[in-house]
Chains A and B, each alone.
Chain A
Amino acid sequence: AQSVTQLGSHVSVSEGALVLLRCNYSSSVPPYLFWYVQYPNQGLQLLLKYTSAATLVKGINGFEAEFKKSETSFHLTKPSAHMSDAAEYFCAVTSINTGTASKLTFGTGTRLQVTL
């Protein structure tokens, strides 16, 4: 079975500070990993995805994430937080090798708060 663990249900940063949201995965086969963002009362929007190409993935809105197999991690970062980044962020995993290619398994989410 595949799973992701997001460390920290709430993260607060000052505007302009580094954003670091942690995600660790568990998978017995090569994973595909995703970060999604959810604004209040809205659906999820894809930020970026790792699909076994480059280990450093750049996404929208200045976010990026690095796949580290040795650490089974896929942490999301942004050098400088904006007020508009305040939202819920979800890490997710799937794989095409398990016969469960239809399933995207999400973490429990991290709520990012950005303060002045």
Chain B
Amino acid sequence: GAGVSQSPRYKVAKRGQDVALRCDPISGHVSLFWYQQALGQGPEFLTYFQNEAQLDKSGLPSDRFFAERPEGSVSTLKIQRTQQEDSAVYLCASSLAGGAGYNSPLHFGNGTRLTVT
């Protein structure tokens, strides 16, 4: 596809359920980022991959959050035992080069809106 694709577009989970959010970056993009955007807030960094290597996971809020990119393309963000405070839009972004967009622009997907009830 032409852009970053995220699925599902919307996800409703009951508290305590596990969820998996998928990101298909632009083909050939080295860097992949996950951000969490709470209602009315700016995106907050979660984690960063360069190819299959997770170079920074300092933004993951708890050990219930786990991200992987095993073959250096598609990435999955998994949230275990979801809590209400996990409700947010989860944004994925990719870029051709390394770094947070100063070498090559970040391309964002439309996000997955997670609602935990």
Contact of B99 among A92, A102, A107, A109 (CB under 8 A): A102
Which residues of chain B are near A42, meaning CB under 8 Å?
Answer: 110
A44 to B37, CA, bound (A): 11
CB of A104 within 8 Å of the partner chain? yes
How many of chain B's residues have a CB under 8 angstroms from any CB in A? 28
**B72 on the A face (CB < 8 A):** no
The closest CB in chain A to the CB of B91 belongs to A43
Of the listed stretches B11-19, B38-46, B60-68, B76-84, chain A binds B38-46
Taking a contact as CB atoms under 8 Å apart, the answer to whether B45 and A103 are in contact is: yes
Evaluate contact between B93 and A43: CB separation under 8 angstroms: yes
| A residues 37-69 in Cβ contact with B at 8 Å | 41-46, 49, 51
Contact B41 A44 (CB under 8 A): no
Residue in contact with B56 in the complex, picked from A44, A92, A102, CB distance below 8 Å: A102
CB distance from A23 to the nearest CB of B (A): 11
Please pick, from B40, B41, B98, B108, the residue contacting A45 in the complex, using a CB distance under 8 A. B108
Partner of A109, one of B42, B108, B110: B42
- Binary flags per residue of A93-114, CB closer than 8 Å to B gives 1, else 0: 0101000111111111100000
A34-B59 in contact (CB<8A) = no
* B114 interface residue (CB < 8 Å to A): no
Across the interface, B101 reaches (CB within 8 A) one of A43, A94, A108, namely A94
- Interface residues in A, total, Cβ within 8 A: 24
Chain B min CB distance to A36 (Å): 8
- In the bound complex, residues from chain A placing their C-beta under 8 Å from that of B93 are 43-44
Query: In the complex the two chains form, is A46's CB within 8 Å of B106's CB?
Result: yes
State whether B111 touches A43 (Cβ < 8 A).
yes
> Which B positions have Cβ atoms within 8 angstroms of A?
4, 31, 33, 40-45, 48, 55-56, 58-59, 91, 93, 98-102, 105-111
Q: 11 interchain pairs (CB within 8 A)?
A: A32-B102, A46-B105, A49-B105, A51-B102, A100-B56, A101-B102, A102-B33, A102-B99, A103-B45, A104-B106, A109-B41
